[in-house]
């Protein structure tokens, strides 16, 4: 029951059922609108019968050379629509755009080390833990940088795990 379309500003006034989830961050306005202004094709919303917002995915494409990649900034689903593989559909769409349109090498995302359900879901979708980022979240909690290689990375070099944790300062992009 999923119409997936580009996210628009008015959806910010309609996604409360999704964003009241305690694991879903409600960013400041300029954060959302910067993504909409720069990467509208990486910001999609799933809409169900009755025009209900089911969930959304927010991301971007960035990097240089072999670091050219799609990034998932947030993917979240309303409680009413969970356990229906909706997150998978949203992730697949972002991966397709990164792979087929923007010719990225991989897709990555950051997730709280304590968010076991999310980590499990991403692993099912084919992501591996590439590296641990120390105190990534508000200088307190570690984050995990998970990656999935796309077709352009034939040898899958982009997802070879790093052996040691890194600090946020060491990230060459965010």
Span of 9-17, 56-64, 68-76, 145-153 interacting with another protein by CB under 8 A: 9-17
Among 63, 115, 141, 142, binds another protein (CB under 8 A): 115
Q: Check residue 23 and report its DSSP letter.
A: T
Binding mask 130-169 for another protein (x = CB under 8 A): ----------------------------------------
CA–CA dist 133, 142 (Å, integer)? 6
Shortest Å distance, C-beta 163 to another protein = 28
Classify residue 156 as left (phi > 0), alpha (psi -120 to 50) or beta: left
Closest to 125 measured CA to CA, from 97, 100, 149:
149
Q: Is 124 in the site for another protein (CB under 8 A)?
A: no
Residues 6+ apart with CB under 8 A from 62: 68, 69, 71, 173
Phi and psi, residue 72, nearest 5° = -95, 110
To 5 degrees, how large is the angle CA 29–CA 125–CA 140? 50
Smallest separation (angstroms) from another protein to the CB of 33: 4
Q: Which of 42, 56, 81, 136 binds another protein (CB under 8 A)?
A: 81
Binding mask 24-63 for another protein (x = CB under 8 A): --xxxxx-xxx-xxx-xx-----xxxxxx-----------
**DSSP-derived pairing of the beta strands 106-112 and 52-62:** unpaired
Chain residues that interact with another protein, rule: CB under 8 A: 1-6, 8-10, 12-14, 16-17, 19-23, 26-30, 32-34, 36-38, 40-41, 47-52, 79-85, 97, 100-101, 115-117
């Amino acid at each position: 029951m999923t119409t997936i379309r580009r996210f628009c500003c008015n959806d910010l006034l309609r996604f409360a059922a999704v964003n009241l989830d305690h694991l879903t961050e409600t960013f400041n306005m300029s954060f959302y609108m910067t993504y909409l202004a720069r990467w509208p094709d990486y910001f999609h919303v799933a809409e169900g019968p009755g025009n209900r917002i089911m969930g959304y995915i927010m991301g971007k494409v960035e990097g240089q050379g072999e670091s050219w990649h799609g990034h998932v900034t947030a993917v979240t689903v309303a409680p009413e629509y969970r356990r229906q593989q909706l997150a998978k559909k949203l992730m697949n769409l972002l991966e397709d755009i990164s792979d087929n349109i923007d010719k990225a090498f991989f897709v990555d995302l950051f997730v709280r080390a304590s968010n076991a359900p999310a980590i499990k879901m991403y692993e099912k979708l084919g992501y591996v833990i590439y590296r641990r980022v120390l105190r990534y979240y508000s200088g307190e909690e570690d984050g995990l940088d998970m990656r999935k290689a796309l077709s352009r990375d034939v040898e899958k070099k982009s997802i070879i795990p790093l052996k040691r944790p890194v600090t946020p300062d060491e990230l060459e992009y965010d």
